[in-house]
A and B are shown apart, each in its own frame.
Chain A
Amino acid sequence: MSVATTAESESLANSKIPVLAARDLYCERDDRVLFQHLNFELNAGQVLQIQGSNGSGKTTLLRILCGLNDGYQGSIFWQGVEVTEQAEQFYADLLYIGHRVGVSKVLTPLENLRWSSTLQQRVDDAVIYQALCDVGLRGFEESQCFTLSAGQQQRVSLARLLISPARLWILDEPFTTLDTTGVDLLERLLQQHADKGGAVLVTTHHSLQVPDLQRLSLG
Chain B
Amino acid sequence: MSAVTTTTGAAFIATLRRDLLIAYKKKHDVVNPFMFFLIVATLFPIGISPEPERLGEIAAGVLWIAALLAAMLSMDSLYRSDFEDGSLEQLLLSPHPLYFMVLAKNIAHWLVSGLPVVLVSPLIAYMLNLPDEAYLAVFLTLLIGTPVLSLLGSIGVALTVGLGSRGLILAVITLPMSVPVLIAGTMAVQQTLNGAPLLGYLAILGALLLGSLALAPLASAAALRITVN
Contacts and interface: CB of A to CB of B under 8 A. Distances in A.
A119 B85 CA distance: 17
Interface residues of B, number: 33
Given A92-B5, A94-B93, A102-B85, A119 B26 contact: no
B4 A68 contact: no
Contacts of A96: 89-90, 93
B6 A120 contact: yes
Given A68-B93, A103-B86, A106-B25, A114 B14 contact: yes
A197 B86 contact: no
A102 B3 contact: no
A114 B85 CA distance: 16
A67 interface: yes
B21 interface: yes
Contacts of A144: 25
A119 B94 contact: yes
Contacts of A119: 6, 11, 14-15, 90-91, 94-96
Given A107-B21, A121-B3, A196-B1, A91 B86 contact: no
Interface string A102-121: 11111100010011101111
- Dominant SS at the B interface? helix
Interface residues of A, number: 43
B85 A105 contact: yes
Interface string B79-115: 0011011110111111110000000000000000000
Contact of A120 (B3, B25, B87, B92): B3
Given A118-B11, A120-B5, 11 more contacts: A68-B229, A69-B229, A96-B90, A98-B89, A100-B84, A100-B85, A103-B86, A104-B22, A121-B6, A122-B10, A167-B1
Interface of B: 1-6, 10-11, 14-15, 17-18, 21-22, 25-26, 81-82, 84-87, 89-96, 225, 228-229
